[in-house]
Structure 1
Amino acid sequence: MSIDPGAITVPDLWKGAHRDDRARPRSRQRLLGPSSVGLCRRRAAYEVHGTWPTDLDDNMHAAILGTWLHEGILRVLAEQYGAHTELELTNGVILGHADAYWAPDGDTPGVVEDVKTKSTRALDLVVRQGPSRHEWFQVHLYAHLLRTGGLAEHPDLPTGRPLPVDAVRLRYVGREYGQVVVHQRVYDEDITKQALAWAEDVMESAEPEAMPRDLDGPGLSIICDNCPFKSACWNLDQLADDGRAPQTILAEDTAGITEALRAYADAAEVESAAKKRKAKARKTLDAADPGTYGDFKLSWSGGNPRPPEPDPAAMIRIIEGLSLDIPMKSGGRTSRTIGVSRAPEST
């Protein structure tokens, strides 16, 4: 039989992957997930009020890759290290799934772990700044639910009664190269109380719009860029198609404009002072060798010779010397420059 390889249909991987992802069970009951606690109160309120997502992207390749990688990681933790994985936890208000749990064994404490896959850039941020507040909230809430008998039906662990958790762990895995960064700490009741207070604030909201936007919005926050409620939250469907930023809805009256001006002026003053300190520190370090100094690691990159590049000024002189007209194109418009200064105090 003669076969034309070009005529054989190739299944579309990502089209199928998105169908598979959307077919996963997604609860619309009014329970709050620990992964949403501490992130953005308005986004969490949309979830607990059962709002249907306004933004379901078809380019969530990184998120789907993360899901596939996540499933493999949990299988390894279970099969190779005896972890109990994907534990459903709830107290009737909060509903979540803890990635991994190890019950105490002799001198080994009880540990609950959350696994997160990250891009190289996001992983570098974790290395430099540590876990975010909402990530510590999330894993502490898992510990709290285990400690208070919140485990749902499970084949190997007792349900309906407290399970000991002495420590919490966050494991970050790089999606590109498999780097692993681990942060763990002793369970902290104060962090749990803060997380529960945050969750209670959202659960008591009358409607999502009653909750503040805790993040900076599309174009300024990657979380907002990928939020399933970003159009509803930022009125993107009503935004005039004139290039205005979504954040303009925050300055629709005199009070909003005044607040934005105050924030701009304050930030500009801090930025100016910081740039001066940074410039001095940079010059001070100019002759320092790479290495570790106290809590800091110094490295250098660049400094290599550049290849030759065209000289526009010389090219213009040559063309003018030949008495030729220089081709021109529209220059467009200059970018708008904002000027903000503090008005003098009235006497």
Structure 2
Amino acid sequence: MPTDDSIAGHATVPVPDLWKGAHRDDRARPRSRQRLLGPSSIGLCRRRAAYEVHGTWPTDLADNMHAAILGTWLHEGILRVLREQYGAHTELELTNGVILGHADAYWAPNDPRRRTPGAQAIDLGVVEDVKTKSTRALDVVVRQGPSQAEWFQVHLYAHLLRTGGLKDHPDLPAGEPLPVDVVRLRYVGREYGQVVVHQRPYDEDVTTQALAWAEDVLDSSEPEAMPRDLDGPGLSIICDNCPFRTTCWNLDRLADDRAPQTILVEDTAAVTEALRAYADAAEVESAAKKRKAKARKMLDAADAGTYGAFKLSWSGGHPRPPEPDPEAMIRIIEGLGVGLPMRPGGRTSRTISVSRVPEAG
């Protein structure tokens, strides 16, 4: 082990900045530079996809996307395991001249490469997309299943394989239709390695919907001709991490710390519509909270387990350690005749009140 003296003697040796290098590497990746429409963008937001198609320069290339880069590194390891241990053909470049994508893994029917000890080759073609997720995002998949955009993505990979969209590949025939019978989504948790898998037969109707969505974007005259399909910064994690966030939501022109969504209200009719949406949602929310509170009380004595289509589990209920008592602290300080330390109060948050105006007559 080096001594303190030897460490001190080398303290000025520069240490390479891991994350600066990682971000440079990530931006140089082919997928970060492509300008054709990618399957991973289809089904998310038409305006974001249109920015990509029209070659708009990103305004929001963040330097703090550590989780995403960690996911990329983990993703590469997962594909290596699927390739070396289970015979998958990985990272297949697919295109029809308009859509360009990279399928994570493909197994051809009865391919000897896919045999594992004690198993036989399967007579079905399978294409798989691998996604790494945070624990919270993975919990959403467990509760709600894959999103429409994720099913669009893996179906488009299958479609491009089935229609001869494979480019040069060392083990598979390029430009020839390849059979795909099953599409699969594999989710892997970045923190603890949990794995959730969803698979289904290839569905031509899903592909048709995805292609229609893509055609709508490809036919656009400019990005601003496409609607914003998501709720915007602060309300959508996809918007929060969008490379076109500032351009799309005019963030550089916002005044008085107002919410980006204010640009959606252009006249009194839009204000009225937003008030109606707020009032309707508040009424539904109030009724739902009451139903939820009653159901929670009813379940208070139920044991953890599976009940029909639902799984019940419990957490918490442990004794808490002692907590500071602010009121007692104030009494002690006042008894000592010392003024209470204060800090700036700032501003109170703005609250909104929306009520329905009684109808006349």
One fold, TM greater than 0.5?
Answer: yes
TM-score by length of 1: 0.93
TM-score by length of 2: 0.90
Does structure 2 conserve the Cα–Cα contact (< 8 Å) formed by 1:35 and 1:138?
Answer: yes
Whether 2:307 is the aligned partner of 1:302: answer no
Separation in 2, partners of 1:109, 1:116: 22
Counterpart AA for 1:145? L
Separation in 1, partners of 2:333, 2:31: 66
1:162-173 equivalences under 5 Å are 162-173=177-188
Counterpart AA for 1:213? R
**Structure 1 match to 2:169:** 154
Separation in 1, partners of 2:278, 2:197: 37
Counterpart AA for 1:303? G
Does structure 1 conserve the Cα–Cα contact (< 8 Å) formed by 2:43 and 2:152?
Answer: yes
Separation in 2, partners of 1:310, 1:179: 37
Quote how far apart the aligned CAs of 1:313 are. 3.6
Does structure 1 conserve the Cα–Cα contact (< 8 Å) formed by 2:27 and 2:33?
Answer: no
**Structure 2 match to 1:50:** 55
Separation in 1, partners of 2:222, 2:142: 37
Whether 2:355 is the aligned partner of 1:341: answer yes
Give SS of 2:103's match: strand
Separation in 2, partners of 1:334, 1:262: 26
How many residues align? The count is 346
Separation in 1, partners of 2:47, 2:211: 16
Give SS of 1:6's match: coil
**Structure 1 match to 2:271:** 257
**Structure 2 match to 1:291:** 305
Give SS of 1:152's match: coil
Quote how far apart the aligned CAs of 1:29 are. 6.5
Counterpart AA for 1:91? N
1:77-226 equivalences under 5 Å are 77-105=82-110, 107-226=122-241
Relative to structure 1, the CA distance from residue 304 to residue 50 in structure 2 (aligned partners, 3 Å threshold; closer, same or farther) is same
Relative to structure 1, the CA distance from residue 108 to residue 334 in structure 2 (aligned partners, 3 Å threshold; closer, same or farther) is same
Separation in 2, partners of 1:320, 1:104: 80
Whether 2:27 is the aligned partner of 1:12: answer no
Counterpart AA for 1:131? P
Does structure 2 conserve the Cα–Cα contact (< 8 Å) formed by 1:91 and 1:150?
Answer: yes
The Cα RMSD (Å) is: 2.1
**Structure 1 match to 2:118:** none
Separation in 2, partners of 1:325, 1:285: 49
Whether 2:275 is the aligned partner of 1:269: answer no
Does structure 2 conserve the Cα–Cα contact (< 8 Å) formed by 1:28 and 1:50?
Answer: no
Separation in 2, partners of 1:65, 1:319: 49
Give SS of 1:183's match: strand
Separation in 2, partners of 1:24, 1:280: 52
Gaps of 5+ in 1: none
Percent sequence identity over aligned pairs: 84
Moved more, 330-339 or 291-300: 330-339
Separation in 2, partners of 1:121, 1:27: 26
Give SS of 2:30's match: coil
Does structure 2 conserve the Cα–Cα contact (< 8 Å) formed by 1:261 and 1:340?
Answer: yes
Separation in 2, partners of 1:280, 1:2: 63
Quote how far apart the aligned CAs of 1:88 are. 1.0
Gaps of 5+ in 2: 1-5, 111-120
Give SS of 1:193's match: helix
**Structure 1 match to 2:116:** none
Separation in 2, partners of 1:323, 1:2: 51
